[in-house]
Homo-oligomer: A and B are copies of this chain.
Amino acid sequence: MAKKRVTLADVARLAGVSQTAASFVLSGRREDMRISADVEARVLHAVRVLDYRPNAVSRSLRTGTTHTIGLVSDTISTAPFAGHLIWGALDAAREHGYLLFIAESEGDPELEQELVQAMVDRQVDGIVLASMYTRALLPPKSLGERPSILLNAVPARPKPIVSVVPDEIEGGRTAARALLEAGHREGIGLIGVGPGRTRTDSLAAIERFQGIEEVFTAEGIDIAAAVGCDDWQPHHGWEATHRLLREVRELSALICFNDRLALGAYQALADAGLRVPDDVSVVSFDDDIYATWVRPPLTTVALPHYELGRTAVELLLKEIRGERRPAPGRYRIRMPLRERGSIRPRFHPA
């Protein structure tokens, strides 16, 4: 348990060489330094015998680099898909030999600042500031002290920083096109965004709507009705759908602004004796895990969480290494359509 630490000096001693020689062998630079093959072998042998592992802390103090990245997020617990964001970041980091400090600010700016500071104190090479739902935020000032990047967020005030976000506008277009290609041109309803209640801090709401509207307008299609929601939980979807049903005589298709709303919508449609997709087609956003569990399985425009996390870390690493530093601005990640069973083709008489 209290095993004595073995240091480079121990290795050198056992190998009968200078510590310098041992160091060079281990950093693989024996070519430059013209270390004899014999010495190299003795060092390598000693390393194996002693089971030597370099002390990264000491190395960091000397080199000024920790091979460590800090990731602080507002929430990682309540979002079921949050794991995939982290996963992508973790994978990318590991592939480059980096480890991740992870922390959660719970949306508290003060705590966020504190956590970023704790990471900076530990000399992380860079920082990822992440949000679980896409939004604008004010980066804490400590961010400036290290290379850093915004993940699933954009700076509230213009700043020369890299942001990685889902391409929500194109995602909106994708949802609209999915309906269009199935022949839906009338009786299209929206729930999640509409007159009155709209979550204005959510970029997703704004940009998804923008994409949807753009496609429909270009085709001369009118949205039959749209109902906003205070929040995007299943019961909001249920209420909104019931309201929608009162406004629209012949609902043919329904765009839900996320899968949770869609879950409530499924229920409300069933209440009204409407079948999905035979009577009403449904398309949604996010690709939450339960999208495959409901019946029929939900066709949805996926939030590319894994890719977001991975891309953020890769861009950050580029900046850290100084090779081809990425230009500040938004990097938009494509939102793929997951075609499942909730859209039914609808043919019109010629």
Closest B residue to A1 using CB positions: B144
Number of interface residues of A (CB under 8 A): 50
Interface: A47 (CB within 8 A): no
- Interchain Cβ contacts under 8 Å between A and B, 22 examples: A53-B117, A53-B121, A55-B121, A55-B123, A56-B122, A57-B57, A57-B66, A58-B61, A76-B87, A78-B83, A80-B289, A82-B83, A87-B104, A90-B102, A94-B103, A99-B101, A100-B101, A101-B102, A102-B102, A234-B293, A263-B293, A267-B295
Per-position 1/0 for A122-141, Cβ under 8 A of B = 11000000000000000000
Tell me which of B61, B78, B267 contacts A61 (CB under 8 A): B61
Residues of A in contact with B (beta carbons under 8 Å apart): 1, 3, 53-58, 60-61, 66, 68, 76-84, 86-87, 90, 94, 99-104, 115, 117-123, 144-145, 234, 260, 263, 267, 289-290, 293, 295, 306
Closest B residue to A118 using CB positions: B99
Closest B residue to A85 using CB positions: B77
> Is B144's CB under 8 angstroms from A122's CB?
no
Instruction: Name the prevailing secondary structure of the A interface residues.
Output: helix
Task: Please judge, given known A-B contacts A83-B77, A86-B76, A102-B102, whether A57 and B53 are in contact too, CB under 8 Å.
Answer: no
Q: How many copies of the chain does the oligomer comprise?
A: 2
Inter-chain contacts of A1 with B (CB < 8 A): 144
Inter-chain contacts of A90 with B (CB < 8 A): 76, 102-104
Tell me which of B68, B83, B121 contacts A76 (CB under 8 A): B83
